[in-house]
Amino acid sequence: MSDETARARAWEAAGRAAASLVRDGDRVGLGTGRAAAAGIRALGERVREGLRCTGVPTSPASAELAASLGIPLDRMRGPLAIAFDGADIVTPAGLAVKGAGGAMVRERIVGAAAGRFLVLIDDPKVGDTLDPWGVLPLAVIPFAADHVMDALAHLSPTRRPGRSDDALVLVDIRPPAGADWEALDREARAIGGVVDTGLFRLVPGDVLVGRPDGTVTSVDGVNAA
């Protein structure tokens, strides 16, 4: 089995576990990326079997996939029963980085509105610290992009080509090994023009780690659905 096949099967396992927790009538936040797409496909299967739910996608790509699977869609308004998404890296304590795809602002809004926010990953995305990932993305108002990069010059900022779905500039900073990521997150957020960052504090029991054999545990090692 190739690494890509193994990872796809792991995401599928986590996606099925997440979709199994959606109840009839739920409004469901739909994340962005490959793991979230696995959850959307699993939810589409349940919809074909008769589940009634409404999806609130965090990106055009997720909206297109969900619509193709027959999942009814709605705008972001009011509370959500549940949401699921992926992550770039998560520690066993639930500290995570998201935003490689640039959708972290919408993902935070959807996660905060959800009664339960599930994050779907596989073993390569579990780290004892965030250092192996090494990048913290920022979403910045275009007017302030140069100002933010100057203020964070000590963290080797780089500006991504293009913009987010909300027309925000995406800037990646690079915390040094052993850095206090939460302190650097506070430093970045204190700069005018920074709308959000990719640092998330998650509930470990709601981070589902799928494996190629179909089993799923939470990131803290507890058996999951």
Active site residues: 107
State the first-to-last Cα distance of the chain, in angstroms, to the nearest integer: 25
Contact between residue 87 and residue 98 where contact means Cβ atoms under 8 Å apart: yes
Q: For residues 217 and 224, what is the distance between their CA atoms, to the nearest angstrom?
A: 5
E-strand stretches of 86-135: 89-90, 95-97, 117-122
Bridge partners of 84, per DSSP, are 30, 118
Contact between residue 16 and residue 42 where contact means Cβ atoms under 8 Å apart: yes
Bridge partners of 121, per DSSP, are 209
Tell me which H or E stretch contains 116.
Answer: none
Burial tier of 200 (Cβ tally within 10 Å: 0-12, 13-18, 19+): buried
